[in-house]
Amino acid sequence: MKVMNKTKMLLVASFATFFTATSIAAEVNVYSARKEALIKPILDDFTEQTGIKVNLITGNADALISRIKSEGQFSPADVLVSTDVGRLVRAKQMGITQANDDDIVKSSVPAYLRDEDEHWTALTLRARPIMYAKDRVVPETLSTMQGLTNEEWKGRICIRSSNNIYNQSMISGMIQTQGDAKTLAWAEGLVENFARSPKGGDRDQIKAVVAGECDIAIANTYYLAGMLNSEDADTRKVAEQVAVFWPDQAGAGAHVNISGISIAKHATNTAEAKKLVQFMLSDQAQSWYADTNHEYPIKEGIEWSDTLKEMGEFKAQEVSLTKVGETNAKALMLMDRAGWR
């Protein structure tokens, strides 16, 4: 029997210590379409409270989904955080997510805001109402989304391109509530009333209203809220000239979408990923999103930010977001037929 020399014994001991520490170091790899400033603070809180290190990669939502797909079984992604149900459904259809059968998710999130197969769940709600110029539009002249096709709004409406997934999901939601034919007729009427060819993001539509290029915009409320709370005085001044109108309150309600989360199919830190999902649905995380990012919490009893409160309470459309995501392609084809570019 050979006796191991002292140097070799020390080397073995040091390697054993290293691999033991590595094996027990808890971490989770997050691919996020949310900008770092809009998610890292709450992830830091998660790490502080659980000891689980978060490795964060941010990027374009569609690019991240494609990246996970191309990485295949070797993808380091444990969690995908994305915006709009259309992308979350697409990720599921591409086979890059897995079911997360978690009682906390089921008890925290209404059924219409999560995947029926448990592949994704909403984290926040994002409303897409009508926004109008305070000095040029009398709110009593507004009522429904259908009303925006009336002659009085000809040449007065700004909205993003049909390539924008927020608009695609809005149209898909209409398909669920009123069918293909009525939705096509609405889209055709809306296109007739465009003030300009669609261009830019939601903030650009709001700025166009204030600049007088149009009188009405369709945009997500958190963009307006972000402008109202901007550190830039000129940005705040622009936003203060626009008000929110909630359409279809006597009918289907205003369109809402989500930011959401999925566990990656080839996640190696599944237990940690599930803990992160649970944390993101906690009252603490929900309150942070509502107060800091001005998005609507999915849980009852969580207080909205003062800015959201000032925009008023509203009835939200409660169609199945799974179906909204699944009919995304149909919605885009319908928009193309209507001449929406």
pLDDT in tens, 89-129: 999 999 999 999 999 999 999 999 999 999 999 999 999 99
Q: Which of 339, 327, 316, 317 is nearest to 180 (CA)?
A: 327
Tell me the chain's radius of gyration from C-alpha atoms. 23
Q: Is position 223 annotated in a ligand binding site?
A: yes
CB atoms under 10 Å from CB of 117, counted, come to: 13
**Domains assigned to the chain:** 6-125+257-306 (3.40.190.10), 127-255+315-337 (3.40.190.10)
Distances from the Cα of 230 to the Cα of 40, 60, 89, 309, angstroms? 19, 23, 32, 17
Torsion sign, CA atoms 25, 283, 83, 211: negative
pLDDT in tens, 240-279: 999 999 999 999 999 999 999 999 999 999 999 999 999 9
pLDDT in tens, 268-323: 999 999 999 999 999 999 999 999 999 999 998 999 999 999 999 999 998 999 99
Q: What confidence score (pLDDT) does residue 25 get?
A: 67
DSSP 276: H
pLDDT in tens, 126-170: 999 999 999 999 999 999 999 999 999 999 999 999 999 999 999
Q: Is position 222 annotated in a ligand binding site?
A: yes
Q: Which of 71, 64, 72, 62 is nearest to 30 (CA)?
A: 64
pLDDT in tens, 42-96: 999 999 999 999 999 999 999 999 999 999 999 999 999 999 999 999 999 999 9
Distance CA 20, CA 329 (A): 49
